[in-house]
Amino acid sequence: MLSSNEIRQKFLDFFEKRGHKILPSASLVPENDPSVLFNTAGMQPLVPYLMGQKHPMGTRLANIQKCVRTGDLDDIGDNRHFSFFEMMGNWSLGDYFKEDAIKWSYEFLTNPSEGLGLDPKRLYVTCFEGDENAGKDIESANIWQNVGIPENRIYFLPAEDNWWSPGDNGPCGPCSEMFYDMSGAIGDLSKEEFIEAVRKEDVIEIWNDVFMEYEKKDEKVIGKLAQKNVDTGAGLERITAVMQGKKTAYDTDLFEYLFNEMDTTYGIFSDIKSKRIVADHIRTAVFMINDGIIPSNKDKGYVLRRLIRRAISHARRSATNFSQLFYLVDFITNHYKNFYPEFEKNRRYIHEIFKDEELSFSLTLERGLKEFEKGTDAFMLFTSYGFPYELTEELLKEKGKGKITTQNITGKSRIMSKEDFNAKMAEHQKLSQTASAGMFKGGLANHNEETVKLHTAHHLLLAALQQVLGKSVKQRGSNITEERLRIDFTFDRKMTDEEKQKVEDIVNEKIKAGLSVIRKEMPLTEAEKLGAEMEFGAKYPEIVSVYFIGDDEAFITLDKGEGQGGGIFSIEFCGGPHINNTNELGTFKIQKEEAVSAGVRRIKAILM
Ligand code: SER
């Protein structure tokens, strides 16, 4: 039986052998497309190239693209829907077209050595039936027959099923989809029987070949593109289910390890859908955080926040031994790290972000529930207590289902339509924007990668100076450009060459050690207790942002409330931004050490 890891590899090997260059997955966050929050299909990062731009890797590409679809969260947890999935795809950018695309799809599916070895007698195929934009796709149907699919297993369907486009604008075209009989006992089907079998999930779609030669603008197909492209997409989740003989990917090795952990830690779930939602949402959250999204109240950050909160709500509701979920994060990063090596360096960071969100949500829940019972409305619950609108709505629904009705829970009304809520929110945001501007500014002129790296090096340097010259060394000023960092610090004499060398060595040693850089929000008093470095003369709010640099064991000790141990190298009050792991920094070098004024020295340093 092929594992999901082996399936990915087989796919890439198959197409590499046929002249395709293998691309790594693009980030879940679209690079130059503000119209979508996440990449929802393998083709999205490739749109400019489908439209005619030259791709640096050539005209034949293959990849496994991370995708997120959160359109309808209510579907998640059935057999077919996942908020995150991996799409295997091969691409022709004005290179081969229908003939090769179809031939290779068939070969990959059915060839037992190079491909998946699926039974050709269990395959069905659909083609586009034609409309005012393009004619009936007889050409594809003929190619399918030539490779071995009998005519009566090829069905022509309308644009609704067999025209693929990413939205109202962009490259698009007719498509041809492949379906597989899950039981092996179905045999020939009339068109009506086929449609019914798909509806009942007796046969399931496993691959889609899109022949992208058209362009859509404002919902309308406006004509042909300059080149004929092929965009194929096979969901790893579905293919894995087929290959492992399961009705759903939730029962395959893509989730097995996670459910095992959940069974051990959280006991029985009263509701299988809730259990799947928890696994699905945490997996998606891990991938989102890995791609730089952090929980917040808008856009991508809000989707992430909602997924984490939904997972927690479902676990609370249906697990017999509910406890914190962040514990699962490490199992997910571990499971995926071979194929997505960035998990190795980000795992601690992901763990911390998830955990912070989970803990702050627990507090929010407790406070919000109390307020809800008092009759506070959805808007107040959100703005004053951070209690999400959806939760108020869910609570009201739950109450409505039981004996209590929304009218008689309290005298006050807290029912508010989504529209009213949004309108109030928009007004609220306009008012609060000016107030919050500049709250947690990190003091960096611009946030490009070099300055962010130098910023992290700056924290390492201050800690190293204190280690070599003594704890009385305090930062008095700092300035970072793309080329170098500058720190002013209290010290009353010139540093010796040995001292400078020692400081440099310590910083480089910490870089090599691959320490995690973790941000935490905490009460000011707690940060002071931990001895976090403060900016001279700065005034801090009650809740502060603090950056820790240390090894993973030290963070575990810190989490358990057993103090910071020896493994935390640096703690500073700071709003960021920073890189996630010191091993990204390169080599640290001090360029100059000089006096600024009596008792204050200045170091300029670079990363090479
Ligand atoms: N774009 C098509 C899909 O997402 C094929 O990759 O189904």
> Structure pTM?
0.70
Residues 6+ apart with CB under 8 A from 8: 64, 86, 88, 236, 339
CB of 164 closer than 6 angstroms to any ligand 1 atom? yes
Residue type (1 letter), 477: G
Contact between 440 and 545 under an 8 Å Cβ cutoff? The reply is yes
pLDDT at 533 over 50: yes
CA of 184 to the centre of ligand 1 (A): 26
What is the DSSP code string of 233-283? EEEHHHHHHHHTT-SSGGGSTTTHHHHHHHHHHH--BS-HHHHHHHHHHHH
Res 601: pLDDT? 93
Ligand 1 atom nearest 43 alpha carbon = 1
Best probe residue, ligand 1, of 43, 172, 211 (max atoms within 8 Å of C-beta): 43
Percent of the chain with pLDDT over 70: 92
In the chain, domain spans: 4-251, 266-425, 449-607
Q: How far is CA 213 from the centre of its chain?
A: 31
Token output for 520: 């935490």
Q: Which CATH class is domain 4-251?
A: alpha beta
Helix (H) or strand (E) segment spanning residue 6: helix 4-17
Question: Measured between alpha carbons, how far is 137 from 135 in angstroms, rounded to an integer?
Answer: 6
Question: Measured between alpha carbons, how far is 53 from 462 in angstroms, rounded to an integer?
Answer: 47
Best probe residue, ligand 1, of 36, 207, 210, 216 (max atoms within 8 Å of C-beta): 210
Nearest CA to ligand 1 atom 5: 233
CA of 98 to the centre of ligand 1 (A): 15
DSSP 94: S
Ligand 1 atom nearest 87 alpha carbon = 6
Token output for 407: 């009218």
Res 537: pLDDT? 66
Inter-CA distances, 583 with 220, 347, 484, 551, Å = 49, 14, 18, 12
pLDDT at 403 over 60: no
CA of 118 to the centre of ligand 1 (A): 21
CA of 43 to the centre of ligand 1 (A): 7
CB of 43 closer than 6 angstroms to any ligand 1 atom? yes
CA of 233 to the centre of ligand 1 (A): 5
Half-sphere exposure of 248 (CA within 13 A, CB side): 15
Helix (H) or strand (E) segment spanning residue 5: helix 4-17
Res 591: pLDDT? 93
Please choose, from the candidates 446, 434, 448, 422, the residue with its C-alpha nearest in 3D space to the C-alpha of residue 297. Answer: 422
Res 437: pLDDT? 35
What is the DSSP code string of 402-432? SS--TTTS-SS-----HHHHHHHHHHHHHHH
Nearest CA to ligand 1 atom 3: 233
CB of 89 closer than 6 angstroms to any ligand 1 atom? yes
Contact between 428 and 384 under an 8 Å Cβ cutoff? The reply is no
pLDDT digits (tens, 9 = 90+) for 22-61: 999 999 998 867 778 999 999 999 999 999 999 999 999 9
Please choose, from the candidates 533, 604, 522, the residue with its C-alpha nearest in 3D space to the C-alpha of residue 569. Answer: 533
CB of 233 closer than 6 angstroms to any ligand 1 atom? yes
pLDDT digits (tens, 9 = 90+) for 264-322: 999 999 889 999 999 999 999 999 999 999 998 788 998 999 999 999 988 988 888 88
- Degrees, nearest 5: CA angle 305-234-135: 115
pLDDT at 588 over 80: yes
Q: Do domains 4-251 and 449-607 have the same CATH topology?
A: no
Query: Which phi and psi (to 5°) does residue 594 adopt?
Result: -150, 170
Residues 6+ apart with CB under 8 A from 604: 484, 485, 486, 590, 591, 592
User: How do strand 203-217 and strand 170-181 relate by DSSP bridges?
Assistant: antiparallel
DSSP 26: P
Please choose, from the candidates 315, 291, 317, the residue with its C-alpha nearest in 3D space to the C-alpha of residue 304. Answer: 291
Question: Measured between alpha carbons, how far is 47 from 37 in angstroms, rounded to an integer?
Answer: 15
**CA quadruple 390, 392, 393, 394: dihedral positive or negative?**
positive
pLDDT digits (tens, 9 = 90+) for 499-524: 999 999 999 999 999 999 998 888 88
Token output for 470: 């003594």
Under the banding of pLDDT at 50, 70 and 90, the label for residue 19 is very high
CA of 569 to the centre of ligand 1 (A): 47
Fold of 449-607: Threonyl-tRNA Synthetase; Chain A, domain 2 (3.30.980)
* Inter-helix orientation angle 299-318/272-290, to 10°: 150
Nearest CA to ligand 1 atom 6: 233
pLDDT at 574 over 80: yes
CB of 41 closer than 6 angstroms to any ligand 1 atom? yes
Residues in the chain: 608
Place of tokens 């619950």: 381
Other CB atoms within a 10 A radius of the CB of residue 26 amount to 17
DSSP 27: P
Ligand 1 atom nearest 210 alpha carbon = 5
Considering only residues 403 and 487, tell me which one the structure prediction assigns the higher pLDDT: 487
Res 148: pLDDT? 96
Question: Measured between alpha carbons, how far is 348 from 273 in angstroms, rounded to an integer?
Answer: 29
CB of 227 closer than 6 angstroms to any ligand 1 atom? no
Half-sphere exposure of 456 (CA within 13 A, CB side): 31
CB of 208 closer than 6 angstroms to any ligand 1 atom? yes
Ligand 1 atom nearest 42 alpha carbon = 6
pLDDT digits (tens, 9 = 90+) for 184-221: 999 999 999 999 999 999 999 999 999 999 999 999 99
Other CB atoms within a 10 A radius of the CB of residue 491 amount to 21
* Inter-helix orientation angle 299-318/389-401, to 10°: 30
Question: Measured between alpha carbons, how far is 83 from 74 in angstroms, rounded to an integer?
Answer: 10
H helix count then E strand count, the chain: 19, 16
- CB-based burial label for 275 (10 Å; 0-12, 13-18, 19+): buried
Please choose, from the candidates 163, 158, 138, 144, the residue with its C-alpha nearest in 3D space to the C-alpha of residue 214. Answer: 163
Contact between 558 and 569 under an 8 Å Cβ cutoff? The reply is no
CB of 174 closer than 6 angstroms to any ligand 1 atom? no
* 577 prior amide bond cis, ω within 30: yes
CA of 563 to the centre of ligand 1 (A): 50
CB of 231 closer than 6 angstroms to any ligand 1 atom? yes
Contact between 255 and 51 under an 8 Å Cβ cutoff? The reply is no
Question: Measured between alpha carbons, how far is 314 from 302 in angstroms, rounded to an integer?
Answer: 18
CB of 210 closer than 6 angstroms to any ligand 1 atom? yes
Contact between 45 and 65 under an 8 Å Cβ cutoff? The reply is yes
Question: Measured between alpha carbons, how far is 86 from 333 in angstroms, rounded to an integer?
Answer: 15
Contact between 203 and 186 under an 8 Å Cβ cutoff? The reply is yes
Burial 149-176 (b: 16+ CB within 10 A, else e): beeebbbbbebebbbbbbeebbbbbbbb
Res 528: pLDDT? 87
pLDDT at 404 over 70: no
Ligand 1 atom nearest 209 alpha carbon = 5
Considering only residues 446 and 596, tell me which one the structure prediction assigns the higher pLDDT: 596
Nearest CA to ligand 1 atom 2: 233
pLDDT digits (tens, 9 = 90+) for 340-383: 999 999 999 999 999 999 988 888 888 888 888 888 888 888 87
Question: Measured between alpha carbons, how far is 169 from 156 in angstroms, rounded to an integer?
Answer: 25
Ligand 1 atom nearest 233 alpha carbon = 6
Contact between 455 and 485 under an 8 Å Cβ cutoff? The reply is yes
pLDDT digits (tens, 9 = 90+) for 445-477: 445 788 889 999 999 999 999 999 998 899 888
Nearest CA to ligand 1 atom 4: 41
CA of 40 to the centre of ligand 1 (A): 9
CA of 511 to the centre of ligand 1 (A): 42
- Degrees, nearest 5: CA angle 161-162-165: 95
